Amino acid sequence: MLIQVRDLSKVYQMGAEVVRALDGVSLDVDAGEFLSITGASGSGKSTFMHLLGCLDKPTSGTYHLNDRDVTQMSDKELARIRNREIGFVFQTFNLINRTPAIDNVAVPLVYGRETFTNKKAMDALERVQLGKRAKHKPSEMSGGERQRVAIARAIVNNPKVIFADEPTGNLDTRTGEQIMGIFHDLHKEGTTIILVTHEMSVAAQAKRLIRMVDGVVDTDTPITPSLRNEMLHSGMFGASVLTDSGVSGGTESGVSGVTDSGSTVAAEPGVS
């Protein structure tokens, strides 16, 4: 078992108010799986991804990654895990904009005090077909190219697992498809992929679907060909897995139950 999560919770105290961003999540993920996590805005997807990616610590519960209890680790050990075993891809790319792509990709190598950083960073850029753009700064690149640089940075240490939080959320559909193509290639090579998205056409491409509601896992199901079809054609979860009214509640767009309000698809800046 690559990932074993038990009763994981994250509670934020906001003045007098207690926000249970994650409210007792349990999940097992085997090495090599391809999961999509979806759910309404505020349902806890990003909180969960940050915990899985060792970017944050839970309030309670346990998280074993490769049979080690991550929840007991020191900040230093967590930093090492993040650096060596995990790749994280964000909706907003999180690159250093005035620094050439190759140096952005080399950041984890430099932190890890590795050698041959240029060669390794270049190899990673070539895996996302950006070798020719190595010297370009992210500020000179399109959104799709920036996200490819971010993926190169995520894979430069050959992590076993990649967490991606709305990686296509800032990209147009065609560019998003290119990004998904890279995740498919990584999955074929054996990398475990866990991807948060509110777009059904993106979620449908995984092998297993998780839906979160109010900080808990509401649905956990394999994506069968018929479910994939339903997701692609109705723009929502298949009726075969969802009989509750939460999603199929007769809304204008048909997807409001799973739409993340912060992610309207905007035209990609700088794309020709």
Ligand X SMILES: Nc1ncnc2c1ncn2[C@@H]1O[C@H](COP(=O)(O)OP(=O)(O)O)[C@@H](O)[C@H]1O
Q: Which residues on adjacent β-strands are paired with residue 69?
A: 64
Site for ligand X in 47-66 (CB under 6 A): 47
Q: What is the torsion angle, in degrees rounded to the nearest 10, for the CA atoms of residue 83, residue 89, residue 93 and residue 97?
A: 20
**How many Å from the N-terminal Cα to the C-terminal Cα in the chain?**
44
Q: Give the integer Cα–Cα distance in Å for 243 and 237.
A: 10
Name, in order, each residue with C-beta under 8 angstroms of 158's C-beta and a sequence gap of 6 or more: none
Q: Smallest gap, in angstroms, from Cβ of residue 47 to ligand X?
A: 3
Alpha carbons 93 and 114: distance in angstroms, whole number: 23
Q: Does 43 bind ligand X (CB under 6 A)?
A: yes
Nearest CB to Mg ion, comparing residues 46 and 157? 46
16 binds, among Mg ion, ligand X, none (CB under 5 to 8 A by kind): none
Residue nearer to ligand X on the CB measure, 91 or 117: 91
* Sites for ligand X among residues 17-36 (CB under 6 A): 19, 21
Q: How many helices (H) and strands (E) in the chain? A: 8, 10
What is the helix (H) or strand (E) element at residue 34, kind and residue range? strand 34-39
Stretch that binds ligand X, among 42-50, 153-161, 177-185, 221-229 (CB under 6 A): 42-50
| Residue 245, SS3 per DSSP | coil
Q: Give the whole-angstrom CA distance, residue 101 versus residue 152.
A: 9
Q: Which is nearer to Mg ion, 166 or 230 (CB)?
A: 166
Nearer to ligand X, 39 or 108 (CB): 39
CB under 5 to 8 A by kind: which of ligand X, Mg ion, none does 44 bind?
A: ligand X
Binding mask 30-69 for Mg ion (x = CB under 5 A): ---------------xx-----------------------
* Binding footprint of ligand X on the chain (CB under 6 A): 12, 14, 19, 21, 39, 41-47, 260
* Binding footprint of Mg ion on the chain (CB under 5 A): 45-46
